[in-house]
Amino acid sequence: MLLENKVAIVTGGAKGMGRAIALKFAEEGADVVVTALHIEGARKVAEEINALGRKGLAIKSDISKSAEVKDMVEQTIKKFNKIDILVNNAGGVGVTGGDTDTATEEDWDKIIDVNLKGAFLVTMAVVPYMKKQKSGKIINISSMGAVNPAVSVLHYHAAKAGMLGLSTNLAFELAPLNIHVNAIVPGPIETPFWDSLQPPGPERDKFFKALAAKEVPLGRMGKPEDIAGPALFLASGMSDYVTGQVIYVAGGQPLLAHAATFLSAAEQ
């Protein structure tokens, strides 16, 4: 049990990568607080955690609102008395467009609030407890669009790039207190994130297959569980000498250009 008797908060834990991370942590012995805007989804994940023999707590929380974040953290401390692990996973786009022709100030504020300000608020609420116990693991979920965008989505990609800067600064400040801060950059992962862009079905499967063949050196789309494994590493004692790092969980992106891999090169 890599996380035996640990307490974790996973924001955006009701589905996709957040759900996979929460369940992986529970399988390894952690009690997990699952936060989400949609409480029913969070409750289902908490029930799955309970079925694994750990304690799951679902809390409805808009992480862009400091009062709700404060209440969420207070509920966590009241039930578990400590916080060992924080995964800042909550985020999303929720608007159409985002290039220089379509991005608006209103959309900018909304996306930055959810994807960057929210992580800041949750971190600021959790860190005092980690400082007190002089230990902690913080994992920030960024996006490939922050470093290697395939389309222009200015506000979302800027926010996710900000997550990387937030991670580096926190790691620098908190290292003397044995608080580790690292970031994960996911590649193309099959999650409900895609549902608003293309409904599940044969056409989406065909699109995913083509996308993976063209852009991912490993030749497949990622699954939420592919993110959960590295998150477990960063949350556990296996990474006790790792902080301030960015792990690309992206099938070889972005450092390996797909066309440049030996077996995929045109001349082969």
Which residues belong to the active site? 156
d(CA 39, CA 220): 32
d(CA 221, CA 253): 12
Q: How far is CA 131 from the centre of its chain?
A: 22
DSSP-assigned states of every residue in 221-261: -B-HHHHHHHHHHHHSGGGTT--S-EEEESTTTTTS-GGGS
CA-to-CA separations, 165 to 120, 133, 173, 217, in angstroms, rounded? 11, 25, 12, 27
d(CA 63, CA 44): 20
d(CA 134, CA 191): 35
DSSP state of 113: I
DSSP state of 30: -
d(CA 44, CA 34): 10
